[in-house]
C-alpha cells in the first residue's frame, strides 16, 4: 500500500519539481477506492509513476475535495511550461487505462504550456473551485 501524502494549502514544489511537471494523483476517500468500481487503482498509479519517473514528479495525495470527479489527476506545468503560459489542468473521471495513457503521452511531450494534450483529454478536464484549486496549485 502506498503512502498518501496530505497536501497543505500553501505547499510549494520541492526537490526539483519546479523544473518538471508534477502529476498529482488523488488517493483519498473516493479516488483510488472501491467507490470507483472497475478500476485497478494500484495499477493506474504504478503506470503513471513508471512511465513518468524520468520526466515528472508523480505524487499521491489525500482527498482533493473534488470527489464527484473521482479519480482526479492534476497535471501541473514544469517551470518552462509555466513560463509559456501553462497552468495546472484538473482531470476528473480518469477511470480507464486509455485516459491514463493519454496523460502519460502528454506529460512526456512536455505537458501544460509546452504540448497540446490529446484531444480526448478535453473530455476529462474540469474546473474546481478556487478554494479547491489552491490546495494543489500554491
Ligand atoms: S478522494 Fe479524490 S477528490 Fe476526494
Over residues 95-134, the pLDDT tens digits come to 999 999 999 999 999 999 999 999 999 999 999 999 999 8
C-alpha to C-alpha distance for 103 and 49, rounded to whole angstroms: 12
Q: Which of 25, 26, 90 to mutate to test the pocket of ligand 1 (most atoms within 8 A of CB)?
A: 26
- Asked if residue 99 lies in contact with residue 47, where contact means CB atoms within 8 angstroms, the answer is no
Percent above pLDDT 90 for the chain: 82
The residues near 74 (Cβ < 8 Å, ≥ 6 apart) are 23, 24, 26, 64, 88, 89, 90, 91, 136, 137
Q: Which atom of ligand 1 is nearest to the CA of 30?
A: 1
CA dist list (Å): 69 to 14, 30, 32, 77, 83: 27, 9, 12, 21, 29
Specify the pTM.
0.87
**Among 44-48, 77-81, 102-106, 133-137, whose mean pLDDT is lowest?**
133-137
Domains delineated in the chain: 20-137 (3.40.30.10)
pLDDT at 7 over 80: no
Q: Which of 25, 61, 72 to mutate to test the pocket of ligand 1 (most atoms within 8 A of CB)?
A: 72
Do strands 56-61 and 21-26 pair parallel, antiparallel, or not at all (unpaired)?
parallel
Amino acid at each position: 500500500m502506498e503512502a498518501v501524502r496530505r497536501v497543505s494549502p500553501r505547499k510549494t514544489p520541492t526537490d526539483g519539481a519546479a523544473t518538471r511537471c508534477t502529476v498529482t494523483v488523488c488517493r483519498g476517500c473516493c479516488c483510488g477506492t472501491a467507490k470507483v468500481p472497475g478500476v485497478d487503482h494500484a495499477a493506474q498509479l504504478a503506470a503513471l509513476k513508471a512511465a513518468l519517473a524520468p520526466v515528472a514528479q508523480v505524487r499521491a495525495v489525500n482527498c482533493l475535495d473534488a470527489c464527484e470527479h473521482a479519480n482526479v489527476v492534476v497535471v501541473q506545468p514544469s517551470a518552462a511550461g509555466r513560463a509559456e503560459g501553462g497552468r495546472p489542468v484538473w482531470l476528473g473521471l480518469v477511470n480507464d487505462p486509455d485516459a491514463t495513457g493519454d496523460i502519460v503521452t502528454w506529460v512526456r511531450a512536455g505537458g501544460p504550456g509546452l504540448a497540446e494534450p490529446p484531444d480526448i483529454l478535453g473530455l476529462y478536464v474540469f474546473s474546481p473551485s478556487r478554494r479547491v484549486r489552491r490546495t494543489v496549485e500554491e
